[in-house]
Amino acid sequence: MKKIIIVLTIAFLGWHGIANGQQPATVNMQPKTDSLYTLTAGRVAMTIDASFGGRIRSLRYDDREVLSQTRWPESFGSTFWTSPQSEWNWPPVAEIDKGAYTVEQADRNTITMTSQPSRRLGIAVTKRFSAADDGTSISVTYTISNVGSAERRVAPWEITRVPNGGLIFFDAPLSAVSPAGLLAFQSAHDAVWYRADTTGENRKINADASGWLAFADNGLLLVKEFPDLKATEPAPGEAEVQVYVNRGKTYIELESQGAYVSLQPGEQLSWTVRWHLVPTGQEPSPSVSLLEQVRSLLKADE
């Protein structure tokens, strides 16, 4: 089977490296009947539900949770879709978003899960979660396989839901955020910043960013890192970065997408997003020091 590879890694960093007391990564199933797998790296723990779309249900630093735990439909954890949305409209494709995934491997530091093929789209999705023995990183690689008989044009799309609170920011000019003014982004220190607010409307923006998207709240800093796309690379009507704010004070989606490519029958693409989760002693407000903390995490990956 031919492969189109787009590389990106999801990493969750602890406060210090293993030399400062972190434990090696481990995988635990708790218990088998629940299909819940917990992957740990240092003081960060990620729990994945094989029975519900291979969804990341929880991401914690010690006992502090960063993902939304709201139990409304489509409102919790981190999931994966294919882009563009115009291919499937709503609701998300069940086999990929919420169907049971087959656990193909689960050892000390790796979990691999695969969806059932989508009859509608002719694709299947594999998610590979792995933790490094240095106790500082966890990676998730998404693979989209064309298992149908026709060519498919597709892009990868990660959707991470966080509580409605805190501060969202990324590296881009204010002019790169559209529709202008829909969310109250402000420009400062060569980045754009949005402090969570509430209205009775659902709102979503698109942006051409610079390969990362950050969220600061509850003393934690979450940074999603991904390949920087050219303006022409996202799927039609989509974008490298998207922020969706649900009405009221329920949840926010931090979204990133990869390049839109053509897959012939039997071809695959693999896409990885790197995440960082660290404590921060800084207030969730626009500042040079908060940007410097983000950039020090990104530089550590170079």
Angle at 296 between CA 292 and CA 300, to 5 degrees: 170
How many C-beta neighbours within 10 Å does residue 20 have?
10
User: What is the pTM for the complete model shown?
Assistant: 0.91
Question: Would you state the pLDDT for residue 81?
Answer: 98
Residue with tokens 């790169």: 176
Rounded mean pLDDT for each run of 10 residues along the chain, 302 residues in total: 43 36 63 80 89 95 95 92 97 97 86 96 95 70 97 98 96 97 97 94 97 96 93 97 95 98 98 89 94 89 68
Using only the alpha carbons of the chain, give its radius of gyration.
Answer: 18
The encoded tokens of residue 265 equal 């029958």
